[in-house]
Structure 1
Amino acid sequence: MASALKNLSEYNSEKLIDASGKRFGLVVAEWNKEITDSLCRAAYDTLIKHGALPQNIHRNTVPGSYELPLAAQYLASSNEIDAVICLGVVIKGETKHDDYINHAVAQGLMQVSLRFNKPVIFGVLTTNTLEQAQARSGGNYGNKGVEAAVAAIQMLSFIQ
């Protein structure tokens, strides 16, 4: 498990560009709202920390993680957005629904990124339990929202 080896909130800030001229779309799933709100706050704060202007960060909500790719496609198609950060959580249940959702979301976000040549970041927690999701949204393992925001800035640097 990657987060057992590395805290999701730790990164080398020296490699990040100034994000002041960049525009970000945050897409946040409402399912498991306590977790996704924490991911969103961490992503937003990280973008601000690295120079993004509040007026250039646009938060959008969708019902659940399954809806992230369509919202990401809508934002990525806009010339007003440079990178899209998708935040959600899928917790394993008694059935295999999580496998189907996780695969569909990952594939959908990758397709959007490739179609529009823009960073579309997979900031979705795919955990076995609520406790694991809490540990990765501001708990013992840091916050995936930080990691997602850093990935967006790194990819924008790469594209420049």
Structure 2
Amino acid sequence: MSSQLKNLSDFSHTSVPNGAKFKFGIIVAEWNAEITGALYNGALKTLLENGVAEKNIYSFPVPGTFELSSAAAILLSNEKSLDAVICLGCVIQGDTKHFDFICDAVAQGITNVSIKYSKPVIFGVLTTNNLEQAQDRAGGKHGNKGDEAAITAIKMAEFARSF
């Protein structure tokens, strides 16, 4: 089914572990603040609804999506007790190649930080063609990618702890 036709934040098909035993970092880009703020609110609400104590959620703003990778590395190097880091950002296609460079760099950077620290670092970044698509995925008709990132963080923290 095309994503145009459904809410992507439906978790009825899967079980989500209780998050009470975990600590999470959330790093949110300030660029495209209307969108990233909605992503952050979704992620925070979802963590809390799944048992994570507010005192176990550490939130940090960064200037833009490009800075998410380095911020995640700085956070994990200084806060060893975190079970996962959620990176939230939004890059909207423009008229130049900037979109491609930023999206590629951030995806690769987040992956590299996760591997370096052996901790889940979650890609909660919207890469859309326009503002409407971003709004649809930040609490609009396609759900909230922030919710999805939080569920992924809980599930991956549980996965990592199982070893």
TM bracket (short chain):
over 0.9
Deviates more, 1:71-80 or 1:25-34: 71-80
TM-score (norm 1): 0.95
Deviates more, 1:124-133 or 1:75-84: 75-84
User: Which segments of 5 or more consecutive residues in structure 2 lack a partner in the other structure?
Assistant: none
Q: How many residue pairs were aligned?
A: 160
Q: Corresponding residue for 1:37? A: 37
CA distance, structure 2, for counterparts of residue 75 and residue 2 of structure 1: 36
Structure 1 outlier segments of 4+, above 3 Å: none
Q: Corresponding residue for 2:3? A: 3
Q: Corresponding residue for 1:95? A: 96
Give the percent of matched residue pairs that are identical in Structure 1 and Structure 2: 53
- Name the aligned partner's letter for residue 92 of structure 1: Q
CA distance, structure 1, for counterparts of residue 74 and residue 86 of structure 2: 13
Q: Corresponding residue for 2:111? A: 110
User: Which segments of 5 or more consecutive residues in structure 1 lack a partner in the other structure?
Assistant: none
CA distance, structure 2, for counterparts of residue 65 and residue 122 of structure 1: 11
Post-superposition Cα deviations, 1:1-26, rounded to whole Å, max 9, x if no partner, equal: 96335423211385221111110000
SS in 2 for 1:126: strand
RMSD across aligned C-alpha pairs, in angstroms? 1.5
**1:2-151 equivalences in 2 (<5 Å):** 3-4=3-4, 6-12=6-12, 15-77=15-77, 78-151=79-152
